[in-house]
Structures are given as structure tokens and as C-alpha cells.
Amino acid sequence: MWTRRTLLATATAASLAPLGRARAAAMPGVTATSIKIGNTNPHSGPASSYGAIANAEVAFFKMVNDQGGIGGRMIDFITLDDAYSPPKTVEQTRKLVEQEGVAFLFNSLGTPTQTAVRAYLNSRKVPQLFISTGADKWADPEHFPWTMGWQPSYRTEATIYAKYIQHEKPSGRIGVLYQNDDFGKDYLLGLKDGFGAAYDRMVIKEVSYETTDPTIDSQVVTLQSSGADVLVTAATPKWAAQTIRKAAELNWKPLHFMSNVSVSVGSVLKPAGLENAAGLITGAYLKDATDKRWDNDPGMQQWRQFMAKYMPGADLTDGNHVFGYGVSVTLMQVLKQCGDDLSRANIMKQAASLDNEEVPTLLPGIRVSTSATNFHPIRAMQLQRWTGSTWDLFGDVITA
């Protein structure tokens, strides 16, 4: 089974001379000419479509190495398969830290999987940086100072949906389908934040699913039977596509909101049927490669040039590639700010010192900012609706 992808530009033995002992001890995973970065991702299993993110990051770091690395150091990026299974994530994370000796973990994916290793990484003071999940709990510098997310909080996203529903469909009868873990439950909390005391009146049915469920057809039937005319789906891609497809089979057409992590045209909407998703609403913070408005956008032209050279033949409609590029650009800014001090403490300090940074794949008006007390790098979104062929942005950028 494919379990590892590693990237390091070749170098002569002389050029790989180690740092001095004291300095090397202070900067694990770092030599005079390289920095080793670890990642876990579901390259197999029920969430394997997210493997495209790590593939984009492998390609991105190859590009960086081809351009001379970062501060003269080549990036040795190791991504291991955890199949979206928390026990496997623990095993692979320990391997990266204790055997591979990585400097830090970058953009490892999954709310349940990253929850399983958060305490371990914090106890060893290893940065768990820019996790690929929007769980609200990653922004807790008081208790977990070595953990930081990147994308907007799921809880904030759900609050935005609630506010929109209250304004546009105040008498709506709402059904909620959610993954039965911290990822899905964040959406319930966000809806409760948004609806307040009206939650019990407006939300008439909550139905969950497990990541071990082969299908969620029965859950969708249950929600339709409840009389709901608004559906909020907090699902990962496999089950998101199933939900859209099953609702279409039932000829059920609720006002449908979908988690922003499961709206990739290539990995979700195409499998579900593009026409079946018409009218779907989600919160956006990244530019969508299928949207013609970005054809001449400098940031997306930069991304397309990268894709053409380093991921030829890859699906340009898969938003995971846009995500992987954007989060990698943010990491490069952190490493530039670190200068020659690539100690774990300084990496975390610089990650918490991002000042209104532009990222070429983020929507206009959305930037990356952090501080010692703000571990939510991106706190703004804009709603968008699927037309059947492309995403159509509407309304203003909303900042939480």
C-alpha cells in the first residue's frame, strides 16, 4: 500500500553538513541545507478525495526547491497515509516525530484524527500547524499553544448560514445532517449560536451519520419525511455527494447549505451530478477555478501556471488543489519570517505573527492575520450558490 511521499532535492554529502550540535538540538528537523516537514492525510479510505491536498503540497514544495528552497534550505516534505482513522493517525504522527525527526507537522487533515494527536504534539512542543480542518477548537492558544488551524471555523460558517436563513426564510423548517464527531457537531453549535432561542423552533430534525456508514440514504429519507424545507449538511465529500444525489432521486428540493469543505466541483459535485446540486449554497473563502470571473485574475493565473508545470494532467476543477496551494503559500510566509531561526518555538511565534497577509487563491477582501491570542488565521467568508455549472458569489464578505 502507498503510505509515504517524500520530497527532497538532491545534494552532495558535503552540502549536507550538519549544524553545530547545540544548534541542531535547538532546531530538530533542520540542517544547514534542509528542513523536514511532516503531514498525515487520508490518501486511502473514506475521505481519500482529500489526498489531492497533500499531492498539491508535494508539488508546491518541489517548485520551492526548484527555485532554491526557503532561505537556502531544501524542503523535505513527508506525507503519510492515515486513512482518516485516528489510531492510524497516532501511529503515523509518532513515526514522523520520533523516527523521521520532523521539525513540525503541517496541514495534517481531519477533525477526529487531529484531535487524537493534539495532546501528544503539544506535550512534546511540536507545532501542529495550519491543520486542514475548520474545527473551532484549534484556536485555543491558552491550552494548546502548539496547535493552529488555517481555514475559517465551521462554527462561524454555520452561524453565517443561520443568519442568512433567518433573513431569507424566517419560517423555514430546518433539517440538519451532520457527521457524528467534532467536525459535524461544530455546525450544530454554530446554528445554535446563530438562531439563539429560536433554534428549537426552527430546527425540526437532527440526523447524524458515522464515517463507517456505507451510505446515508436512510438519513436523507428521514430528513425529507420530517417536512424540512431547509437542509444544512455538515458532511465530508463522500457523504456530501451521496446527500445531493439522494435528495435529487427523491425529488426533494430544500434550500440546501453544504459545508465548505465538501463543495469541490471535481470531487463532490461531479460525482453527485452537477445539475443535482443546482441551488446549493456554501460559504467561500477561496477562489473557484471553474468561475470565469477569475480567468484573468493574477492570483489564479499564478496557480494555473503552477498546476501546468508541477501537476500536469491533474483535475483543475478540484478545489482541493486550490486549497493546498493557498495554505502552502501561507507556510512560506511563516518560514520567511523565521529567518535562520527555525526552532519550533520561533516557527510557532511567527505563525502567530501574520499581519494581513495576501494569498493569491483567497477571495478579494479576505486575508490572513494572527496574533498570540488569535489562532483563527482566516475569519471571513462570502456566500456562493451553485448555478448548475459554476459557483456564483453573492452578498458581501462577512467577517466574524
The CATH number linked to 346 is: 3.40.50.2300
Backbone dihedral angles phi then psi of residue 207, each to the nearest 5 degrees: -135, 135
Whether residue 110 is found in the same domain as residue 141: yes
Mean pLDDT of the region 55-75: 97
Mean pLDDT along residues 223-246:
97
Q: Quick check: 105 and 39 in contact, CB under 8 A?
A: yes
Full residue range of the structural domain in which residue 307 is found: 4-152+298-378
Q: Which of 258, 284, 310 is a domain's end point?
A: 284
Can you give the pLDDT at residue 10?
Answer: 37
pLDDT at residue number 400: 64
Please state the φ and ψ torsions of residue 344, each to the nearest 5 degrees: -60, -40
Q: Do 254 and 339 share a domain, yes or no?
A: no
Residue 46 has pLDDT above 60, yes or no: yes
52 with 80, same domain: the answer is yes
Shared-domain flag, residues 60 and 180: no
pLDDT per residue over 114-170, tens digit each?
999 999 999 999 999 999 999 999 999 999 999 999 999 999 999 999 999 999 999
Question: Do residues 280 and 303 both lie within one domain?
Answer: no
| Residue 52 CB neighbour total at 10 angstroms | 24
320 within some domain: yes
Domain for residue 293, yes or no?
Answer: no
228 and 173, same structural domain?
A: yes
Q: What is the pLDDT of residue 377?
A: 97
Give the chain's domain count: 2
Pairwise pLDDT comparison (389 vs 7), residue with the higher score: 389
pLDDT of residue 22: 43
pLDDT at 42 over 80: yes
**Residue-level pLDDT at 6:** 54
Characterise 178 by phi-psi region: left (phi > 0), alpha (psi -120 to 50), beta (else).
beta
- Within this chain, do residues 211 and 276 fall inside the same structural domain, yes or no? yes
pLDDT exceeds 70 at position 8: no
- pLDDT classification of 399: cutoffs 50, 70, 90: confident
Contact indicator for 141, 375 with CB cutoff of 8 Å:
yes
Spell out the long-range contacts of 310-313 with Cβ–Cβ below 8 A and sequence spacing 24 or more. Answer: 310/59, 310/60, 310/62, 310/63, 311/55, 311/56, 311/59
**Average pLDDT over all residues of the chain:** 93
Same domain, 195 and 261: yes
Alpha carbons 174 and 61: distance in angstroms, whole number: 44
384 located within any domain: no
pLDDT value at position 4?
52
Residues 215 and 257 in one domain: yes
Distances (CA, A) of 99 to 102, 187, 306: 8, 37, 32
Considering only 25-29, 261-265, 305-309, 326-330, which range has the smallest mean pLDDT? 25-29
Q: How much is the pLDDT for 206?
A: 98
DSSP secondary structure string for all residues of 135-148: -GGG--TTT-TTEE
pLDDT digits (tens, 9 = 90+) for 331-384: 999 999 999 999 999 999 999 999 999 999 999 999 999 999 999 999 999 999
The mean pLDDT of 247-270, rounded to a whole number, is 96
Residue of higher predicted confidence among 31 and 23: 31
Same-domain status, 172 and 269: yes
Cβ neighbour number for residue 365 with a 10 Å cutoff: 11
At residue 47, the pLDDT reads 93
| pLDDT at res. 2 | 42
**Helices and strands, number each (H, E), in the chain:** 13, 14
Same domain (yes/no): 9, 102: yes
What is the reported pLDDT for 26?
80
Q: How confident is the model at residue 13 (pLDDT cuts 50, 70, 90)?
A: very low
Q: How confident is the model at residue 199 (pLDDT cuts 50, 70, 90)?
A: very high
Question: Do 182 and 125 share a domain, yes or no?
Answer: no
The x, y and z cell numbers of residue 283, run together, are 460559504
The reply to whether 145 falls in a domain is yes
The residue ranking higher by pLDDT, 6 or 192, is 192
Decide if pLDDT at 261 tops 70.
yes
How far is CA 79 from each of CA 107, 153, 230, 306, rounded to the nearest angstrom?
10, 24, 39, 20
Report residue 145: phi and psi, to 5°: -70, -10
In the numeric block, which cell numbers belong to residue 287?
477562489
In the beta sheet, which residues pair with residue 124?
Answer: none
